[in-house]
């Protein structure tokens, strides 16, 4: 079953290659969507795909890459619409 989630990750998550590593992990897991920096210093993303892959990517986002420090992750489950055909990094 495919699912969709929106996440916002807070902490030291910009300038530490969070978006790059999220994209790599998404590709490994077969998850589609996007990840991008927000003006307040957080990182946002929308992930769609198989439930186990999306859940694994969300779990990974709780820690992020080695240089990151994740303070908090906000998660919102949404209706999966199959909007994406791959994974992209947004500014």
Kindly list the distances between the CA atom of residue 6 and the CA atoms of 12, 27, 46, 66, 67, in Å, as whole numbers in the listed order.
Answer: 19, 17, 4, 22, 23
Active site residue 19: yes
Q: Comparing C-alpha atoms, which of 10, 6, 47, 7 is closest to residue 27? A: 47
Assign residue 64 a region (left: φ > 0; alpha: ψ between -120 and 50; beta: otherwise): left
Q: Which of 4, 12, 32, 37 is catalytic?
A: 37
| Set 4, 19, 25, 32: catalytic member | 19
Question: Can 37 be counted among the known catalytic residues?
Answer: yes
Q: Which residues are catalytic?
A: 19, 37
């Amino acid at each position: 079953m495919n699912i969709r989630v929106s996440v916002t990750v807070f902490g030291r998550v910009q300038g530490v290659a969070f978006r790059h590593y999220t994209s790599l992990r998404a590709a490994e897991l077969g998850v589609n969507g996007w990840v991008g920096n927000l003006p307040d210093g957080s990182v946002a993303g929308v992930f769609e795909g198989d439930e186990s892959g999306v859940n694994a990517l969300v779990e990974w986002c709780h820690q992020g890459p080695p240089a990151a420090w994740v303070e908090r992750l906000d998660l919102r489950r949404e209706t999966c619409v199959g909007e994406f055909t791959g994974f992209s990094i947004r500014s």
